[in-house]
A and B are shown apart, each in its own frame.
Chain A
Amino acid sequence: MVCTDNIDFTIPLQPATDRIMIKFVLMVNRQGQTRLSRYYHSVELSRRAALEADVVRYCLSRKKDQCSFVEYKDFKLVYRQYAALYIVVGITDSENELSIYELVHNFVEVLDKYFSRVSELDIMFNLDRVHIILDEMIQNGHIVETNKSRILAPLTTIDKMVDS
């Protein structure tokens, strides 16, 4: 019976897109320039550019009185606008949109606290630091930390280390 057959039941190779809650985080300005991008599943470089352009187009075309959730292909976009900067998060269908919406705001608050009045330039010039903050908050597509001081703790330690 089962033990006697030699049929190979190997599962076919999995598709590249693992089902991850948060697929990517993007920061783009009104001109469509990417200011920060973080992918939580592997996307080819060439497709990233296309995706970013597409996503930005989608979000920029929406008016203020429209809701912040966009159905995009097989996933959803949650975006928030801060002055000229858009923060766009790609999430899977099953994720709670509102919680991501809040997370984006939380992220911006943390940035604000660290850079004291964050601006687009801060993000451009301190890309690595922004990445550290983001990595403290989101890891492989999941929310890890939402407490502001705990998010900033490693970064301040690192800064002290660099200074000394």
Chain B
Amino acid sequence: MALKIVKGSIDRMFDKNLQDLVRGIRNHKEDEAKYISTCIDEIKQELKQDNIAVKANAVCKLTYLQMLGYDVSWAAFNIVEVMSSSKFTYKRIGYLAASQCFHENTDVIMLTTNQIRKDLSSPNQYDTGVALTGLSCFVTPDLARDLANDIMTLMSHTKPYIRKKAVLIMYKVFLKYPESLRPAFPRLKEKLEDPDPGVQSAAVNVICELARRNPKNYLSLAPLFFKLMTSSTNNWVLIKIIKLFGALTPLEPRLGKKLIEPLTNLIHSTSAMSLLYECVNTVIAVLISLSSGMPNHSASIQLCVQKLRILIEDSDQNLKYLGLLAMSKILKTHPKSVQSHKDLILQCLDDKDESIRLRALDLLYGMVSKKNLMEIVKKLMIHVDKAEGTTYRDELLTKIIDICSQSNYQYITNFEWYISILVELTRLEGTRHGHLIASQMLDVAIRVKAIRVFAVAQMATLLDNAHLLTGNMQRNGICEVLYAAAWICGEFSEHLENPVQTLEAMLRPKVATLPGHIQAVYVQNAAKLFATILKNQEGNTDSTAAQETSQMMIDRLPLFVQSANLEVQERASCILQLVKYIQKLQQKDVEVAEEVSALFAGELNPVAPKAQKKVPVPEGLDLDAWINEPPSESESEDEQPKAIFTKEEPKHSRPRHTEVDEKELARRREARKQEQANNPFYIKASPSSQKVYQEAPGVEHIPVVQIDLSVPLKVPATTPSHPTGLPMSDQYVKLEEERRQKERAEKKKKEKKKRKEKRSGRGKKHDSGPESEEDITPAHVVDIVTEEMPENALPSDDDDKDPNDPHKALDIDLDKPLADSEKLPVRSHRAAGAPKSSAEDGEAENATPQEPKKKSSKEKRDKKKDKERDRKRSKEEKKKKKHKHEEKEEDLLGGQAEEPVVQSEETKEVEAQPTSTSAEVSDLDFWLSNAPVPSNTQEAATVAEAAPAPEAPAGTAADSEPEEPKDTETEESKSSKHKKKKQKKEKEEKEKKKKKKHHHHHHHSDGGGEESVQNGTVEEEEPLPPMSNYCLLAENSYIKMMMEDADQVCDIQGNLQDGSQVVVSVIFENKSDSFLKSMEFNVLDSLNSKLQRPEGSGPHDGLTVPFQLPPGVSNEARFVFTVQSIVMPQKLKGTLTFIVKNEDSSTHEKLDFKLHFTCTSYLITTPCYSDAFAKLLESGDLKSSSVRLEGVNMPFHHLLARICFHHHFSVVERIDSCASMYSRSIQGHHVCLLVKTSGQTVSIDAKCDEPTLLGNVLDEIKQTFSQC
């Protein structure tokens, strides 16, 4: 019986599935929390059971509870258990729960690695699919590193379902483990042309996303994407691609030109609004990035604006919103085109949807002119009044201020109106932007001198009615305006009508409830006011008034002396004592006003916020130098031993002393900053320093903008009877209109009215004011003093990129060939007899916890350097492109009709040879330039022209292409200069692309090919740059071969000990004007080194070079050699045979060469850490040897750079003039160097486990330095 009950309850427990839970929650609306807590208890019981079905059910319920906001992280381990169930239905539940609950810091994730790997390789595609989906949610850097290779394999899965998911998740993997990007990229690129559209779209997604962050690395893919864009019908994919192009065009304007046409076609043809919107957006982006002056430029903009107008006019609010959003992008560059739709935009201001109104507000910025500013602002003020929410109202407020203050108050013709607007805005309760209004008031009052009288009057009213503003002070940001009001009244107190009244208002007890910084300003400015009042009153015979004022100060100030705010207290007590002293003097009938006002004398001028920063450091001033020499090191060394025996004190005190100094300094600096922030005088001008400054260069340098105002300044009487006493800005609108009408009438009469001469700023120079484009002359003579800058201010400084962007780590050059160290980690069982040479490998793989991180940090560092180089390179590229661009301008315009079909062929060709990156680059150039291939016919024409006068070939060549040689020359010098700079910085030598770039410069058709003289001269023009690993292999009049032997790739899968490979890159450059084809590269194998030939070919067959060379073109091919022993340098003889094809004939030619494999070329730059390095040296397995170099005359770092560059070492550590370096051979020999320098002597102590190799490497190093 009892058993039955137990069983029954267990059954019930089992029965409660997700549906029951959901129902249960719905049925317990009143005590939901209690119900759920009992459910959770049940679930905990269920999880304790062994039955996986029960567990899965429990986890399923937990997932639901998690969604409701309950923490289920305690069940993480159970989730992992369910994930590892063999039954798919349960596994799925586990993964779903994991994807919802796990995050990067969930520690059980570590346990899942193997399970996920198993699932990824499961024969059931849904197992794999669910694992991939889950992984995309909780992948961690560790998981990414461990699984990258597995996922990469899945990218080539037979099932598109898996491929698609694998491709997408790679993006996450890249983010978490940036090192995986380069190895995985080629395969990712392949997927762009996957037969399955889903996979294709996934690849597009990933690459677009990558490319949008670091566009420059993906420029070479542009042709491929272009093809996709013209062929794809999936709108979602199209949108992605178009977005991508938007990111690429700023880097490559030519791409933009190419895009305009297909994009405008799409705009015309598509019915999908989302696509239309994207196209418009991209066209805008393209046009922004293109320099102006394009012929159909304005047409495209017009088209965009028209389409956007249709969107905005649509009844669909979504379209309206987006239309306005896109419009604002156009506004930035083509304000005129948008302005013509002003009516529509103003209409949107009245839209019922707040989001739309906000967008319209953004646009207003560009809509205003002198003519309509007042009208627009009036409209906005109405909106302000009836705005329902504070957010929108605040937005309106900032917009009003933005619009009015934009470009130095360009559109304001009447500043009285503007001040009134500002004052009206202070009536907004609960706004956050009080400080914004305040700063505007300050700015206008300081910079527009003529407005001061008016402003002061207004501010006095504000102060008088301060209680209205400060109803509920705590959350009311508007009280900030009192800060401005008090300051203006104090500073320009000479304009006050009734200073005593204002002074009284400033010292009211209520003031004490204001925020501290405002009180401080009150107190300080009360003192200024007091000074002014004294001055006024002293003139009078009656001295009692003055004494009364003093008494008032003395009565009221103690309130502030008690303030909790330090600033207020300090100022108040200071001023209080001062006033007391003054009172004493007054009682003795001493005239004090002059002296008191001297306290606050001095003219104010606005200083630009950046002025201080822009003052260049005077010559000879070294801010980092010690003013007093710090105690020298030797001194302390002398003292140290003493200290051990005597008291510790002296030894201790010194460093502490300096430390305190440091802290003290920092503290003072901080305090000063604080003070400056709170001090209204600081930025505006500290009177004394300003004065000094002014006196030195004279006042003429202050730029003053003059605006003519023809109506006399009229301060409307502020009526105290009026409840608020605040003026209505509207009356100024009217006044202004009247004024304008009058002006127009006057203009008609052509009566030149004499402008009323106003106080013209004490003889300051007047610049012509902003020109009134619309016949509106501003009212009043107003000086707008522009902000001051020091005379020798430096030009504006630019900002850097956000360093925290995770995509920064993905800024990786994808064209660079893969290095050995970059292969994705493959988990495999190590061979039992692991070679001792791979000890380091073992270390890395042994996964001591800190090792991988260290490594990655190192790699990141490398990458950073790469980036640096890239940046430089792109600069160079740009220069080059610019140049090419000029050259091909004509072709560009003429050849625009060329259709992408032609180019796609070209693309395929590139795809066929993925290794030759140079081809890709040049191909991109070609694709972009649209130029016709340097066709034979054209070439023939040149030759034909040259033919009639064979005696003067050089002359004709110069005639036919007069510009070319000069261009090339300058370019060459440019590039070589660049090169030198770069090479200094270079660490790794595998900088191939760049060199190839260099070789593009050789594309000059130098007239007749058979003129060897000419070839010779050309040769002389291009000395090999000092640090290149390319060396001339052989050349004749037809072809030049350059070899780089630096690039080794070890077959990572094979055993390092028997199959070592060396890859030789050879650049073939066609120097003739004939077509070179059927090139065959052959090398006579030695016992030790063999050229790898395709299977089935004999040992003496040559290798066909996989390209042909049109005249003047160079290309690179790579050949793989197998090398047995690497301890000795070796030479191989080889021949290149090729066919020279001319117009009418073709001949066989051949060129012999010798390949020189130095021992250095067997070394691979391998980073090594000092601890590993020390271990290696201690191991005692290494033989040592040393070499001395005399007369080396170069800086130490150059020396190191050279060794790194030419001999593939990396620096382990460097201390002063001593450095340890490391490298590893392709067969795993360690080579360690200790380089020391003193004077011109460099000694290198070296250790290696292979003495012969070491000897040879040292000889080669010696040779390198003997050559220079």
The answer to whether A161 touches B317 (Cβ under 8 A) is no
Chain A residues within an 8 Å CB radius of B71: 45
The answer to whether A142 touches B1201 (Cβ under 8 A) is no
The answer to whether A143 touches B1201 (Cβ under 8 A) is no
Q: Answer whether residue B986 sits at the interface, using C-beta atoms and an 8 A cutoff.
A: yes
A42-B104, A140-B171 given; A3·B88 CB < 8 A: no
A150 and B19 alpha carbons, distance in the complex (Å): 27
The answer to whether B168 touches A3 (Cβ under 8 A) is no
A103 to chain B, nearest CB (A): 8
A69 and B322 alpha carbons, distance in the complex (Å): 9
Chain B residues within an 8 Å CB radius of A63: 352
Chain B residues within an 8 Å CB radius of A127: 18, 63-64, 67
> Which residues of chain A from 48 to 106 have a CB within 8 Å of any chain B CB?
48-49, 52, 63, 65-71, 94, 96-99, 101-103
The answer to whether B89 touches A146 (Cβ under 8 A) is no
The answer to whether B165 touches A158 (Cβ under 8 A) is no
Chain A residues within an 8 Å CB radius of B164: 144-145
Chain B residues within an 8 Å CB radius of A19: 213, 805-807
Chain A residues within an 8 Å CB radius of B235: 99
Q: Answer whether residue A108 sits at the interface, using C-beta atoms and an 8 A cutoff.
A: no
The answer to whether A4 touches B1200 (Cβ under 8 A) is yes
The answer to whether B1213 touches A6 (Cβ under 8 A) is yes
> Which residues of chain B from 1174 to 1210 have a CB within 8 Å of any chain A CB?
1197-1198, 1200-1201, 1204, 1210
Chain B residues within an 8 Å CB radius of A99: 235-236, 239, 274, 278
Q: Answer whether residue B273 sits at the interface, using C-beta atoms and an 8 A cutoff.
A: yes
For A40, give the chain B residue with the smallest CB separation.
Answer: B137
Q: Answer whether residue B43 sits at the interface, using C-beta atoms and an 8 A cutoff.
A: no
For A158, give the chain B residue with the smallest CB separation.
Answer: B126
B96 to chain A, nearest CB (A): 6
The answer to whether B18 touches A14 (Cβ under 8 A) is no
The answer to whether A96 touches B1200 (Cβ under 8 A) is no
Chain B residues within an 8 Å CB radius of A135: 133
> Which residues of chain B from 780 to 812 have a CB within 8 Å of any chain A CB?
803-809
Complex interface bits, B153-192 against A, C-beta within 8 A gives 1, otherwise 0:
0000000010011001101100100000000000000000
The answer to whether B321 touches A67 (Cβ under 8 A) is yes
* Partner-binding segment picked from B367-375, B452-460, B605-613, B860-868: B860-868
A67 and B809 alpha carbons, distance in the complex (Å): 37
The answer to whether B317 touches A139 (Cβ under 8 A) is no
Of A67, A102, A103, the most chain B CB neighbours within 10 A belong to: A67
Complex interface bits, A17-40 against B, C-beta within 8 A gives 1, otherwise 0:
011010000000000001011111
Chain A residues within an 8 Å CB radius of B69: 34, 45, 48-49, 52
The answer to whether B212 touches A98 (Cβ under 8 A) is no
Q: Answer whether residue B1071 sits at the interface, using C-beta atoms and an 8 A cutoff.
A: no
A12 to chain B, nearest CB (A): 6
Q: Chain B, interface size: which category?
A: 35 or more
Q: Answer whether residue B68 sits at the interface, using C-beta atoms and an 8 A cutoff.
A: yes
A19 and B247 alpha carbons, distance in the complex (Å): 15
Chain B residues within an 8 Å CB radius of A145: 164, 198
The answer to whether B168 touches A139 (Cβ under 8 A) is yes
Chain A residues within an 8 Å CB radius of B201: 143-144
The answer to whether B209 touches A96 (Cβ under 8 A) is no
The answer to whether B103 touches A42 (Cβ under 8 A) is yes
B23 to chain A, nearest CB (A): 9
The answer to whether B205 touches A142 (Cβ under 8 A) is yes
Q: Answer whether residue B857 sits at the interface, using C-beta atoms and an 8 A cutoff.
A: yes
Q: Answer whether residue B136 sits at the interface, using C-beta atoms and an 8 A cutoff.
A: yes
A36-B67, A142-B168 given; A69·B243 CB < 8 A: no
Q: Answer whether residue B318 sits at the interface, using C-beta atoms and an 8 A cutoff.
A: yes
Chain B residues within an 8 Å CB radius of A68: 317-318
Complex interface bits, A94-137 against B, C-beta within 8 A gives 1, otherwise 0:
10111101110000000000000000000011011001100100
B325 to chain A, nearest CB (A): 8
Q: Answer whether residue B428 sits at the interface, using C-beta atoms and an 8 A cutoff.
A: no
A9-B861, A9-B864, A94-B212 given; A18·B274 CB < 8 A: no
A158 and B69 alpha carbons, distance in the complex (Å): 29
The answer to whether B1219 touches A4 (Cβ under 8 A) is yes
Of A3, A37, A139, the most chain B CB neighbours within 10 A belong to: A3
B800 to chain A, nearest CB (A): 14
A76 to chain B, nearest CB (A): 10
Residue from A8, A66, A69, A150 within 8 A of B861 (CB atoms): A8
Chain A residues within an 8 Å CB radius of B274: 96, 98-99, 101-102
The answer to whether A157 touches B209 (Cβ under 8 A) is no
Chain A residues within an 8 Å CB radius of B1154: none
A124-B22, A140-B171 given; A96·B136 CB < 8 A: no
For A121, give the chain B residue with the smallest CB separation.
Answer: B22
Chain A residues within an 8 Å CB radius of B136: 139-140
A12 and B805 alpha carbons, distance in the complex (Å): 9
Number of A-B contacts (CB under 8 A): 187
Q: Answer whether residue B202 sits at the interface, using C-beta atoms and an 8 A cutoff.
A: yes
B120 to chain A, nearest CB (A): 15
B538 to chain A, nearest CB (A): 59
Of A36, A96, A97, the most chain B CB neighbours within 10 A belong to: A96
A157 and B18 alpha carbons, distance in the complex (Å): 22
The answer to whether A125 touches B807 (Cβ under 8 A) is no
For A49, give the chain B residue with the smallest CB separation.
Answer: B69
B340 to chain A, nearest CB (A): 24
Chain B residues within an 8 Å CB radius of A15: 804, 806
Chain A residues within an 8 Å CB radius of B865: 2, 9
The answer to whether B353 touches A65 (Cβ under 8 A) is yes
Chain A residues within an 8 Å CB radius of B434: none
> Which residues of chain B from 45 to 78 have a CB within 8 Å of any chain A CB?
60, 63-64, 66-69, 71, 73
A1-B1198, A2-B985, A4-B1197 given; A14·B806 CB < 8 A: yes
Complex interface bits, B1209-1226 against A, C-beta within 8 A gives 1, otherwise 0:
011011000010000000
Chain B residues within an 8 Å CB radius of A5: 1214
Chain A residues within an 8 Å CB radius of B243: 94, 96
A102 and B805 alpha carbons, distance in the complex (Å): 30
For A69, give the chain B residue with the smallest CB separation.
Answer: B321
Complex interface bits, A141-156 against B, C-beta within 8 A gives 1, otherwise 0:
0111111001000100
Chain B residues within an 8 Å CB radius of A128: 18, 60, 63, 92-93, 96
The answer to whether A161 touches B168 (Cβ under 8 A) is no
Residue from A3, A21, A36 within 8 A of B1201 (CB atoms): A3
The answer to whether B1200 touches A3 (Cβ under 8 A) is yes
The answer to whether B273 touches A98 (Cβ under 8 A) is yes
The answer to whether B88 touches A158 (Cβ under 8 A) is yes
A4-B1197, A140-B171 given; A12·B861 CB < 8 A: no
The answer to whether B168 touches A140 (Cβ under 8 A) is yes
The answer to whether B96 touches A144 (Cβ under 8 A) is no
Chain B residues within an 8 Å CB radius of A161: 88-89
A39 and B710 alpha carbons, distance in the complex (Å): 64
The answer to whether B320 touches A67 (Cβ under 8 A) is yes
B1041 to chain A, nearest CB (A): 29
Q: Answer whether residue B253 sits at the interface, using C-beta atoms and an 8 A cutoff.
A: no
Q: Answer whether residue B1081 sits at the interface, using C-beta atoms and an 8 A cutoff.
A: no
The answer to whether A142 touches B857 (Cβ under 8 A) is no
The answer to whether A125 touches B22 (Cβ under 8 A) is yes
For A2, give the chain B residue with the smallest CB separation.
Answer: B985
The answer to whether A4 touches B806 (Cβ under 8 A) is no
Residue from A1, A11, A125 within 8 A of B18 (CB atoms): A125
For B26, give the chain A residue with the smallest CB separation.
Answer: A124
Chain A residues within an 8 Å CB radius of B861: 8-10
A–B Cβ pairs within 8 angstroms, 13 of them? A1-B1200, A2-B986, A9-B861, A9-B865, A10-B860, A11-B809, A18-B175, A19-B807, A66-B352, A96-B278, A144-B202, A147-B198, A161-B89
Q: Which 9 A-B pairs have the closest CB atoms?
A: A98-B274, A67-B317, A14-B806, A3-B987, A140-B136, A42-B103, A66-B353, A67-B321, A99-B274
- Not counting A39-B137, A157-B126, a sample of 19 additional A-B residue pairs whose C-beta atoms are within 8 angstroms of each other reads A3-B987, A8-B857, A8-B861, A11-B864, A12-B804, A18-B806, A42-B104, A63-B352, A65-B353, A96-B243, A97-B322, A127-B64, A128-B60, A128-B96, A131-B96, A140-B172, A144-B165, A145-B198, A147-B198
